[in-house]
Amino acid sequence: MASTYGTAFRVTTWGESHGPALGAVVDGCPALLAIDEALIQRDLDRRRVGQSRVTSPRNEADRVQILSGVYEGYTTGAPISLISYNKDVDSSKYENLRDVFRPGHADYTYWAKYGHRDHRGGGRSSARETWGRVAAGAIARALLATAGIDVYAYTVQIGTIVATKFDRSVIEENMVRAADLDAAEAMIAAIDRIKEEKDSLGGIVEVRADNVPPGLGEPTAEKLDALIGQAMLSIPAVKGVEIGHGFRAVAMRGSDHNDAFFVDESGRVRTRTNQAGGMLGGISTGEPIIARIAIKPTSSVSREQETVDRSLQPRRILVEGRHDPCVVPRAVAVVEAMMCLVLGDLYLRNRMSRAYWE
């Protein structure tokens, strides 16, 4: 449904960029999961603006409050309402955008669809909507942790700079969240440069989930791949998703692409390679889930652009406001959250698939 993610673990977000508050309601979370605001805040802090010089300077603490569904530290099975009041709202920069459509943004399409919109800061189409996803994702992450499932993401490309090494321990040690410190340095330099040029950059985020048991995902319409695809392409600025070898699989032969099965020393069915990215027929194999997400360069650039206004008159605009020169470092937290939501949902649903009376 329009503003709801998931079928069993359902998250409905609400709120506008410059409205009084943002929020999410999580419905379907099982009872007796240990949750508190600090646990959620940890993930939110990785998404928030103003966290480093490569992000937007808007200063929002993004402080979460739990308004329902948790009692004495544990979920009760009731809907969990999460809220954060907007603090640093400056709509003055948007006054001149009331009637004009910013290129690359949803201004025109919302107006075409609804005939009325809150233009301030992008309103509902702002990436601030992802606050609710990350808050809810933290709860899904806690749910997955009860089964040992571990979800993490990192930047593998910014502009044309590509990471070539992988060291998980450094991801949170650098402003762009790369798993490669040398590449990170170059990426930061590239962002600094593009910022000076009043332009923007895109990039690629890779996300992994380790210790996913086999069996997650539903055949046909709700394959694990399909739900990851929906989840990732629902993130603002995402333009592509690939699973495992993805687009690179196209040029391979079947005999090279197939991952051979074997039984490891612990008696578990494994594959020699994991080119499939941890899923076959839409269902997890037990190997790590791996996906890559393409993020376009931020649409807000401080350069004059050609456009039109609501009266269908040509206009030239200079978009002001406070923007990220590159959203990739913050998108890492959103990609992780969406993967947590997909897996949390499928994890619960999988409880229903197999007979337990056998």
- Residue numbers 181-220 binding its own copies by CB under 8 A: 194, 199-204, 214-215, 217-220
| Shortest Å, Cβ 137 to its own copies | 13
Q: Which residues contact 345 (CB under 8 A, 6 or more apart)?
A: 5, 6, 7, 8, 9, 10, 140, 227
| Shortest Å, Cβ 355 to its own copies | 4
Binding to its own copies, residues 248-307 (CB under 8 A): 249-263, 267, 269, 271-272, 276-277, 279-286, 294-301, 303, 305-307
Of the residues 51, 68, 91, 96, which one makes contact with its own copies according to CB under 8 A: 68
Nearer to its own copies, 26 or 151 (CB): 26
| Shortest Å, Cβ 213 to its own copies | 8
Phi, psi dihedral angles at 166 (to 5 degrees): -135, 115
Rounded to the nearest 10 degrees, the angle between the axes of helix 224-233 and helix 328-350 is 150
| Shortest Å, Cβ 58 to its own copies | 18
Binding to its own copies, residues 337-356 (CB under 8 A): 348-356
Q: Counting contacts by CB under 8 A, is residue 329 touching its own copies?
A: no
Of the residues 52, 146, 165, 172, which one makes contact with its own copies according to CB under 8 A: 146
What is the spatial distance between Cα 208 and Cα 211, in angstroms, rounded to a whole number? 10
Q: Please answer whether residues 10 and 65 qualify as being in contact, where contact means their C-beta atoms are separated by less than 8 angstroms.
A: no
Q: Counting contacts by CB under 8 A, is residue 137 touching its own copies?
A: no
Please identify, among the stretches 41-49, 51-59, 155-163, 167-175, the one whose residues bind its own copies according to the rule CB under 8 A. Answer: 155-163
Closest to 346 (Cα-Cα) out of 230, 224, 210: 224
Which residue bears the tokens 């949902």?
A: 345
| Shortest Å, Cβ 272 to its own copies | 7
The DSSP letter of residue 174 is S
Helix (H, G, I), strand (E, B) or coil at 210: strand
What is the spatial distance between Cα 128 and Cα 288, in angstroms, rounded to a whole number? 30
Q: Please answer whether residues 174 and 186 qualify as being in contact, where contact means their C-beta atoms are separated by less than 8 angstroms.
A: no
